[in-house]
Amino acid sequence: MRRRASIDEAGVLRPHDHVGWFGDGAGDLYSVAAAAIADGARRREKLMFVAEDPDPARLSGVDGLERLLATGQLELAAVDAVYGSGKAFSAGDQLATFEGVLGEALAMGTAASVS
Amino acid sequence: MRGDDESFRRWLAWEQLTDRFQSKSMVTGVCFFDHAALSGARRADLAALHPVCSAGISAPPFSLFSDRDALFVTGTLDTFAAEQFRRVLGTVPVDRPLVVDLSRAEFVGHHALFILAESASAERPLLVRGDGNLSELVSLIGLATPQLRFEHVDRAVPTCAHCGDVIGVYQPTVIMLDGACRVTSRAAHPDAVDKALARYHHACYGRPSRSAPSSGMLSVR
List CB contacts (< 8 A) between B46 and chain A.
20
Cβ–Cβ below 8 Å for A102 and B46: no
pLDDT score, position B220: 36
The Cβ-side half-sphere exposure at B108, using a 13 Å CA radius, reads: 26
B166 within domain boundaries: no
Which of these, B170, B63, B147, lies nearest to A6 by C-alpha position?
B63
Which ranges of B25-56 does DSSP label H, i.e. alpha helix?
Answer: 40-48
Which residue of A4, A20, A99 is in closest CB contact with B74? Answer: A4
Which residue of A15, A33, A86 is in closest CB contact with B26? Answer: A15
The residue with greater pLDDT, B96 or B115, is B115
- Shared-domain flag, residues B13 and B85: yes
pLDDT score, position A89: 63
Torsion of CA B187, B192, B197, B202, to 10 degrees: -40
CB contact at 8 A, A62 and A52: no
pLDDT score, position A88: 58
Distances in Å between the Cα of A83 and the Cα atoms of A108, B138, B197 are 24, 41, 43
The residue with greater pLDDT, B66 or A80, is B66
CA gap B19, B64 in Å, rounded: 10
Least confident of A89-103, B101-115, B138-152: A89-103
- Shared-domain flag, residues B141 and B216: no
- Shared-domain flag, residues B27 and B95: yes
Cβ–Cβ below 8 Å for B19 and A18: yes
Domain that holds residue B100: 5-152
Q: Which ipTM did the prediction report? A: 0.90
B179 within domain boundaries: yes
List CB contacts (< 8 A) between B64 and chain A.
none
What percentage of chain A has pLDDT greater than the value 90?
A: 52
Mean pLDDT confidence for B67-74: 92
Q: Note the pLDDT tens digit of each residue in B153-184.
A: 876 677 788 777 778 877 899 998 877 888 99
pLDDT score, position A107: 82
Model's pTM, two decimal places?
A: 0.78
Cβ–Cβ below 8 Å for B50 and A19: yes
Q: Note the pLDDT tens digit of each residue in B38-65.
A: 999 999 999 999 999 999 888 899 999 9
Share the mean pLDDT of chain B: 85
Residue A25 has pLDDT above 70, yes or no: yes
Cβ–Cβ below 8 Å for A6 and B53: yes
- Within 46-85 of A, beta carbons closer than 8 Å to B belong to none
Q: Exposed/middle/buried for B161, CB within 10 Å: 0-12, 13-18, 19+?
A: buried
Which residue of B19, B32, B52 is in closest CB contact with A7? Answer: B52
Q: Note the pLDDT tens digit of each residue in A61-107.
A: 899 999 999 999 999 999 888 777 656 567 777 778 778 888 888 88
**Domain of residue B148, CATH code:** 3.30.750.24
- Shared-domain flag, residues B66 and B130: yes
- Minimal C-alpha gap between B209 and chain A (Å): 31
Which of these, B67, B24, B74, B27, lies nearest to B47 by C-alpha position?
B74
Rounded to the nearest 5°, which phi and psi values hold at B12? Answer: -65, -35
The residue with greater pLDDT, B2 or B84, is B84
B167 within domain boundaries: no
- Shared-domain flag, residues B42 and B74: yes
Which residue of B10, B32, B74 is in closest CB contact with A21? Answer: B32
Cβ–Cβ below 8 Å for A14 and B23: no
Which ranges of chain A does DSSP label H, i.e. alpha helix?
Answer: 25-42, 65-71, 79-83, 91-107
The residue with greater pLDDT, A36 or A110, is A36
pLDDT score, position B216: 34
List CB contacts (< 8 A) between B67 and chain A.
1-2
pLDDT score, position A86: 59
Mean pLDDT confidence for B136-163: 81
pLDDT score, position B30: 95
How many domains is chain B partitioned into structurally? 2
Tell me which of B30, B193, B220 to substitute to probe the interface with A (most A C-beta atoms closer than 10 Å).
Answer: B30
pLDDT score, position B2: 63
